[in-house]
Amino acid sequence: MIAEHPVVRLSQVGRSYGRGEHQVHALRDVTASIDPGELLAVVGPSGSGKSTLLNLIGTLDRPSWGQVLIEGHDVSRLDDRELSALRAHRIGFVFQHFHLAEGIRAVDNVADGLLYTGRSLRTRRERAETALHRVGLGHRLGHRPHELSGGERQRVAIARAVVGDPALLLADEPTGALDTRSGDMVTGLLRDLNAAGTTVVVITHDTELAAALPRRILVRDGVLVEDSAAAESPAASPAGDRRAQETGI
Ligand code: ADP
Ligand code: MG
């Protein structure tokens, strides 16, 4: 039997920006692996490299050194077309500020998540409606982003991210612009999607949320300084819990 690939495998991954005296090492030698079905938080101070890490996992960016494997595919060996295809079919993104197209109905914002699949407009709209029902917005299909609350906009963005049934959902501070109640709803949705089989990676400043997730990765100054999965039996171990409290994750 062939063992299943991890969804993500990072080996000694680094990313630097600029050169000479202006060079910034946003990420240094990060090694980690994420299995299918995991739900994990990436935490760390502002500027520590969290978004850089998520962009590398999402193949929106290529590492300066090291290796990124997505479902066994070495990102550095794929050309732009292959990379776009991998991203379109296997990865969904959610951002802090939603990134919805203004003036476009919710259903079409979501249907656009299927643009690269070659499906007909009719099929794309049908799937978009289903996805919007799934996030509790079946009654807002024709609303434009400015007619929706922040929480509703984020739910549209989540529907768009998952309409193509990706293996991996990446969320960069998805509750960062929301009030507590809307944030809780979005968090609940991410949990539901994970329970239904999607691997979910969420960057969050919300220590309560992070502490409640099965796995936490702590990044500081571009370095992965703590991975709760590396501690023995982190869920059951008091030592793991104590460590989480000490590091604030
Ligand atoms: P976080 O998401 O944890 O706040 P980022 O990954 O956005 O951190 O950024 C990590 C570091 O890399 C920061 O010092 C940031 O200023 C720098 N950085 C991020 N993107 C770029 C870029 N495109 N050009 C130059 N520096 C960047
Ligand atoms: Mg960031």
Task: State pLDDT tens for residues 102-154.
Answer: 999 999 999 999 988 889 999 999 999 999 999 999 999 999 999 999 999 99
**CA-proximal residue: ligand 1, atom 24 (nearest):** 17
In the reported structure, the alpha carbon of residue 92 is separated from the centroid of ligand 1 by a whole-number distance in angstroms of: 21
| Residue 19 resides in a domain | no
For the chain, what is the mean pLDDT? 91
Q: What is the residue whose two structure tokens read 């409606």?
A: 129
| Residue 171 resides in a domain | yes
pLDDT reported for residue 103: 97
Q: How far apart are CA 174 and CA 158, in angstroms?
A: 9
pLDDT reported for residue 3: 58
Ligand 1 atom nearest residue 53's Cα: 6
DSSP result, 132-186: HHHTT-TT-TT--GGGS-HHHHHHHHHHHHHTT--SEEEEESTTTTS-HHHHHHH
pLDDT reported for residue 152: 97
Across residues 10-22, what is the average pLDDT?
A: 94
In the predicted structure, residue 183 carries a pLDDT above the cut 50: yes
Query: Could you tell me the strand order of the sheet in which 65-70 lies?
Result: 24-34, 8-17, 65-70, 73-74
| Residue 191 resides in a domain | yes
Q: How far apart are CA 114 and CA 126, in angstroms?
A: 11
Torsion of CA 221, 223, 226, 227, to 10 degrees: 130
Apex CA 62: angle with CA 60 and CA 64, to 5°? Answer: 150
pLDDT reported for residue 240: 43
**What CATH number is associated with residue 44?**
3.40.50.300
Sign of the CA dihedral running 150, 155, 160, 161: positive
Ligand 1 within 6 A of CB of 59: no
Q: How far apart are CA 78 and CA 62, in angstroms?
A: 11
**CA-proximal residue: ligand 1, atom 23 (nearest):** 17
Residue 224 has, within 13 A of its CA and on its CB side, a CA count of 21
Q: What residues make up the domain containing 106?
A: 37-60+79-227
In the predicted structure, residue 71 carries a pLDDT above the cut 90: yes
Across residues 66-87, what is the average pLDDT?
A: 94
In sequence order, what are the beta bridge partners of 42? 203, 217
| Residue 53 resides in a domain | yes
> Closest Cα to residue 49, out of 39, 38, 69, 64?
64
Residue 100 has, within 13 A of its CA and on its CB side, a CA count of 29
Residue 196 per-residue DSSP state = T
Instruction: Report how many domains make up the chain.
Output: 1
Query: Could you tell me the strand order of the sheet in which 199-203 lies?
Result: 91-95, 168-172, 199-203, 39-43, 215-220, 223-227
| Residue 237 resides in a domain | no
| Residue 31 resides in a domain | no
Q: Which amino acid is at 236?
A: A
Q: What share of the chain in percent tops pLDDT 90?
A: 84
Ligand 1 within 6 A of CB of 204: no
In the predicted structure, residue 95 carries a pLDDT above the cut 80: yes
In the predicted structure, residue 245 carries a pLDDT above the cut 80: no
Closest ligand to Cα 50: 1
| Residue 70 resides in a domain | no
pTM of this prediction?
0.90
pLDDT reported for residue 126: 97
Q: Give pLDDT tens digits for 193-238.
A: 999 999 999 999 888 889 999 999 999 999 999 999 986 544 444 4
By DSSP bridging, strand 8-17 and strand 65-70 are antiparallel
In the reported structure, the alpha carbon of residue 142 is separated from the centroid of ligand 1 by a whole-number distance in angstroms of: 37
Ligand 1 atom nearest residue 15's Cα: 12
| Residue 69 resides in a domain | no
Ligand 1 within 6 A of CB of 55: no
Closest ligand to Cα 57: 1
Q: How far apart are CA 121 and CA 123, in angstroms?
A: 6
